[in-house]
Amino acid sequence: MPGTVVMKFGGTSVADASRLKRAAERIVAKREAGQHVVVVLSARGKETDRLIADAQEISSHPDPREMDMLLSTGERVSCALCAMAINDLGHRAISLTGSQAGIVTDTSHTKARILEVRADRIRAALDEDSIVLVAGFQGVSTAKDVTTLGRGGSDTTAVALAAAIGADECEIYTDVPGVFSADPRIVPDARKLDVVSFDEMLEMAASGAGVLQLRSVEYARNHGVRIHCRSSFDDAAGTFVVSEDEAKDKDMMENPLITAVTHSRGEARVTLIGLPDTPGVAGRVTTALADANVNIDMIIQNEPRTAGALAELSFTVPRDDVDAARVALQPIAAELGITLETDASMGKVSIVGAGMKSHPGVAAKVFSVLGAQEINIEMISTSPIRISCVVPAEKVEEAVKALHTAFDLSGADTIRPEQPFGEFAS
Amino acid sequence: MPGTVVMKFGGTSVADASRLKRAAERIVAKREAGQHVVVVLSARGKETDRLIADAQEISSHPDPREMDMLLSTGERVSCALCAMAINDLGHRAISLTGSQAGIVTDTSHTKARILEVRADRIRAALDEDSIVLVAGFQGVSTAKDVTTLGRGGSDTTAVALAAAIGADECEIYTDVPGVFSADPRIVPDARKLDVVSFDEMLEMAASGAGVLQLRSVEYARNHGVRIHCRSSFDDAAGTFVVSEDEAKDKDMMENPLITAVTHSRGEARVTLIGLPDTPGVAGRVTTALADANVNIDMIIQNEPRTAGALAELSFTVPRDDVDAARVALQPIAAELGITLETDASMGKVSIVGAGMKSHPGVAAKVFSVLGAQEINIEMISTSPIRISCVVPAEKVEEAVKALHTAFDLSGADTIRPEQPFGEFAS
């Protein structure tokens, strides 16, 4: 439906009565400006954490199906309360659960994937001039159970609804003014980016930028949904995440080589020493990790070139997964006589920019900048628009600053966020 | 399904982790004794009050549809957590929302009535040897919206499910040992009743006994569902609420004239003075009150026998409804020149007993007992098995004591409840 916008508010934007009423006023203002409005809300403030704590009081390994039943209540509460606030402002509003909104998912509880959006009920409500509030982060499985989409799932709900109803735009309201050229807590003069392409945003989200959830950006790219990531505390424009063509048009004056520096402090390196020279070992290792739900990021295999040297396989995993990786690999290591080493003190710094595709010298500059700071690069991975370096976690901040300066990413129009960079909403 | 029992636990029985785990143990013990188990849970402790407070922070007149969306989350949380606890005890458990359990209601939000129970999913889960946990107090309307059944609705959910699946019994676990011959806070040696007939329990619930919700008793009588009302804190038998035939069999040795004395302190009297002598005035008055959702209890009309005297109409309403009654009647009073008086300090004392049907002298005894205490009887209403007297609220306690003694209702086997009489669960 042209003339329709999806507005998504994170948990901090509805945390208490006054913030929730402010969100309601913004929603009503949008409607009064003539647009049809679908709203996606997260659970209020620390509500999801409270529910998780309740579950942990009961069980050390709560059943995933029941976790979904439990956690899905948080967003429903937000939506019902917001509907009340909008009604009091003289507009019709209706809250819908993920199931009522037609979000159909697979049956992978706590990390379900959206299979289909049957938006008939939303369309009918919009036709009746209602503002529609949808509980984010949740859906109904093909087995008719309540499912949740995993961390950051409300962003994905918003983008999926925008795609299904053909909305003009998906606005993600958050506690920062937009996407920045680096984390402003590390680089105080980081620049707010006006426009980012889907591909750049994907790389940034995957390499540590917390402001938008990775899957929501993937979904937006695949369905061509324009995202406007902006502050819930003021009316200033934030960051538009759009197709590369549109980004080029908008950004023509600047056309920067590099868009942003991102980072992560939570990496761990796992090294397998003394791999036998038989085919299929790497395959067994990665299969074991996949079965344990451990995502591998970078991977390096060293073939011994001198006689008697041992073959090594190293890879990085999120630090939280390092114990799971060790448990998954222990049987293979014991069987094949492999030594297993882990180092949980790793970090990662990345530069992202569509402009680097046609500039082969970027990698060399990154390495020399980090070298000049005497920061040891442990591993490297690249994509056409990203270069990532694993560095010691305690060197991450220094690396981000050095790269941001070297690539001249600061801007005069920098807006300093009042709150920390990167709300991870439900 | 023969061999199936429905167990309903109120909010205090699942208020914290240790109580919830205790309830889970009771549920599992029942299953291990060989019965199929369907469980109905209320929201935990003060959860419903918390949600109501959240709504009131947002709106002074919250939309009823949105209130239902909001409040229905409380019971879902209880069920999900209890399913986790049961899983940890080595049994399969599945939580269902009212909608998933097939509780279909009308569209009267915040006070919906059950139209139908489609228990296919419950039956399928029982067939798979699962313990089924159903969120009480809620259903799904014919318009596919979440509805709630009003105060005490979880009792009704339990009885309705017991009827739909043909359970042997519906156990209502509460914070008192059963139904008593009077409120033990007023009459310390009140007797716990072993057996009460549906009709007696209906009259008791309607006249102030808080332990079972009126609509659940109506539903049980209409569908022949045996209720066992018992303590969630020990294993002692409580009170069985059964058909009159079964009650007679069980209770043959006692066959008491009177079963219990009940009371209410929250009555108000509304008096209309100077009614014109035209037909239809009483009809207009009662219609106006029904439209305002005010339930009238007793009603008395005084036709003037002497010339010049004014005709009066008096009735009682719950004290909480007295303002609504005044608002509803003001226009009629103004139009017809009627004087409207209200007295919110009324109470009511009732005696209930199937045995009084064949003993016409009971009413006379009630009046003389109250007369001997110099308690003024303002209004009287009777049914074949109940006599109710409206008395000043401050005389209620004295009236209950006097009647309980006069009809000799105390018993040697009295069990003193540790907690107050009458949990009003959601």
The DSSP result for B360-398, as a single string, is: TTHHHHHHHHHHHTTPPP-EEEEETTEEEEEEEGGGHHH
Confidence category of residue B245, pLDDT binned at 50, 70, 90:
confident
Site from B22, B27, B68, B69 to mutate, A interface, most A CB atoms within 10 angstroms: B69
CB contact under 8 A, B84 and A144: no
| B91 band by pLDDT with thresholds 50, 70 and 90 | very high
Q: Which residues contact B164 (CB under 8 A, 6 or more apart)?
A: B102, B117, B119, B122
Number of H helices, E strands in chain A: 12, 18
Contact B370, B391 (CB under 8 A): yes
| Spatial separation of the C-alpha atoms in residues B95 and A55, rounded to whole Å | 14
Question: How far apart, in whole angstroms, are the C-alpha atoms of residue B173 and residue B227?
Answer: 10
Q: Delineate the domains of chain A, giving CATH numbers in brackets.
A: 4-252 (3.40.1160.10), 262-406 (3.30.2130.10)
* Neighbour-count burial of A333, counting CB atoms closer than 10 A to its CB (0-12 exposed, 13-18 middle, 19+ buried): middle
Confidence category of residue B416, pLDDT binned at 50, 70, 90: very low
Cβ pair A88:B144 closer than 8 A:
no
The beta-carbon neighbor of B59 closest among A59, A85, A100 is: A85
What is the C-alpha separation between A298 and B92, in angstroms, rounded? 40
Cβ(B114)–Cβ(B125) under 8 Å?
Answer: no
Q: What's the pLDDT band for B81 if we cut at 50, 70, 90?
A: very high
String of DSSP letters for A257-270: S--EEEEEEEEEEE
Q: Can you give the pLDDT at residue B421?
A: 41
CA of B63 vs chain A CAs: smallest distance (Å): 6
Residue A306 buriedness (CB in 10 A; 0-12 / 13-18 / 19+): exposed
Question: How far away is chain B from the Cα of A76, in angstroms, using its nearest Cα?
Answer: 7
pLDDT given at position A26: 96
The minimal CB distance from B69 to the residues A62, A69, A76 is found for: A76
Confidence at B211, pLDDT banded by 50, 70, 90:
confident
Average pLDDT over residues B410-416: 53
pLDDT at B279: 76
Residue A423 has pLDDT above 60, yes or no: no
Q: In what order do the strands lie in the sheet with B379-383?
A: B299-302, B312-318, B260-273, B339-352, B386-392, B379-383
Chain A positions in Cβ-Cβ contact with residue B63 (cut-off 8 Å): 83-84, 87
Residues from chain B contacting residue A54 (CB–CB below 8 Å): 17, 77, 81
Give the rounded distance of the alpha carbon of B47 from its chain centre.
20
Task: Inspect the interface and report whether the beta carbons of A70 and B85 lie closer than 8 Å.
Answer: no
Answer yes or no: do B83 and A63 touch at CB < 8 A.
Answer: yes
C-alpha span between A113 and A192 (Å, rounded):
31
- Distance (Å, rounded) from C-alpha A370 to C-alpha A366? 6
Closest Cβ opposite residue A58 in set B17, B72, B100? B17
The Cα A76–Cα B72 span in angstroms is: 9
Query: Which amino acid is present at A162?
Result: A
Contact check, Cβ <8 Å, B84/A59:
yes
Mean pLDDT of chain A: 90
CA dihedral A284, A290, A295, A300 (to 10 degrees): 10
Residue A9 phi/psi, 5-degree rounding, is -115, 130
Q: Return the residue of A nearest to B24 by Cα.
A: A58
- Taking the CB of residue B292, how many other CB atoms lie within 10 A of it? 14
**CB nearest to B73's CB, from A57, A76, A88:** A76
Q: How far apart are CA B194 and CA B206, in angstroms?
A: 20
Q: Which amino acid does the sequence have at A30?
A: K
How many other CB atoms are found less than 10 A from the CB of residue B361?
A: 9
Confirm or reject contact between A344 and chain B (CB < 8 A): no
Q: Is A39 on the interface with B (CB under 8 A)?
A: no
Q: Does B83 touch chain A (CB under 8 A)?
A: yes
Residue with tokens 């659970």: A43
Q: Is B92 on the interface with A (CB under 8 A)?
A: no
Please determine, for residue B226, whether its predicted confidence score (pLDDT) is greater than 50.
yes
* pLDDT value of position A250: 67
Q: What pLDDT band is residue B110 in, cutting at 50, 70 and 90?
A: very high
Distance CA B306, CA B284 (A): 25
Q: Which of B65, B85, B144 sits opposite A59 (nearest CB)?
A: B85
CA distance A68 to chain B (A): 8
Give Rg (Cα) of chain A: 23
Over chain B, what is the mean pLDDT? 90
Taking CB atoms and an 8 Å cutoff, what residues of chain A touch B95?
66, 69
Mean pLDDT, residues A118-132 taken together: 96
Whether A85 has its CB under 8 Å from any CB of chain B: the answer is: yes
Burial classification of residue B52, based on how many CB atoms lie within 10 Å of its CB (0-12 exposed, 13-18 middle, 19 or more buried): middle
Q: Which residue type does B194 have? A: D
Interface test with B, best of A73, A107, A122 (most B CBs within 10 A): A73
Per-residue pLDDT band at A254 (split at 50, 70, 90): low
* pLDDT number for residue A360: 75
* Alpha-carbon Rg for chain B in angstroms: 23
Q: Do B84 and A62 touch (CB under 8 A)?
A: yes
Nearest to B377 by CA among B361, B362, B395: B395
CA distance A201 to B130: 46
Which residue, among B160, B136, B162, B164, has the nearest Cα to B150 in the 3D structure?
B136
Q: Is the pLDDT of residue A308 over 80?
A: no
Alpha helices in A259-412 (DSSP H): 281-291, 322-336, 362-372, 396-406
Residue B420's pLDDT is 41
Interchain proximity A70–B77, CB inside 8 Å: yes
Nearest in space to A68 (alpha carbons), one of B377, B10, B76:
B76
The residue of chain B with its CA nearest to that of A72 is B73
pLDDT score for B175: 85
Q: Which residue has the tokens 């049994």?
A: B91
Residue A18 touches partner B, C-beta closer than 8 Å: no
Q: Poorest-confidence range of A47-61, A136-150, A331-345, B355-369? A: B355-369
**What percent of chain B has a predicted confidence (pLDDT) above 90?**
72
User: Would an 8 Å CB–CB cutoff place A87 in contact with chain B?
Assistant: yes
Is A73 close to B70, i.e. CB distance below 8 A?
no
ipTM of this predicted structure: 0.82
What does the pLDDT average to over B287-297? 88
Could you tell me if B186 lies within 8 Å of chain A, comparing CB atoms? no
Using DSSP, state whether B268 is helix, strand or coil.
strand
* pLDDT band at A424; cut points 50, 70, 90: very low
Q: Where are the alpha helices (DSSP H) in B112-254?
A: 120-127, 153-165, 198-206, 214-223, 244-251
How much is the average pLDDT of A3-24? 95
Q: A112 to chain B, minimum CA–CA distance in Å?
A: 18
- Cβ separation A69–B83 shorter than 8 A: yes
Q: Other C-beta atoms within 10 Å of B290: how many?
A: 12
CA distance A138 to A119: 15
Do A81 and B54 count as a contact with CB atoms less than 8 A apart? yes
Given a cut of 50, whether residue A233 has pLDDT beyond it is yes
In chain A, the percentage of residues whose pLDDT exceeds 70 is 94
B341 Cβ under 8 Å from any chain A Cβ: no
Q: Tell whether the model's pLDDT for residue B127 goes beyond 90.
A: yes
Distance from the A157 Cα atom to the nearest Cα atom in chain B, whole angstroms: 19
Q: B52 CB near a chain A CB, below 8 Å? A: no
pLDDT of residue B22: 94
Hey, are the CB atoms on A59 and B88 less than 8 Å from each other? yes
3-state secondary structure of A277: coil
- The 10 Å Cβ neighbour count of residue A402 is 19
CA A171 to chain centre: 15
CA distance B251 to chain A (A): 42
Is the pLDDT reported for residue A418 higher than 50? no
Mean pLDDT throughout B393-409? 95
Q: What pTM does this model have?
A: 0.85
- Chain B touched by A70 (CB under 8 Å): yes
Grouping H, G, I as helix, E, B as strand and the rest as coil, residue A231 is strand
**Six token digits for residue A124:** 């009918």
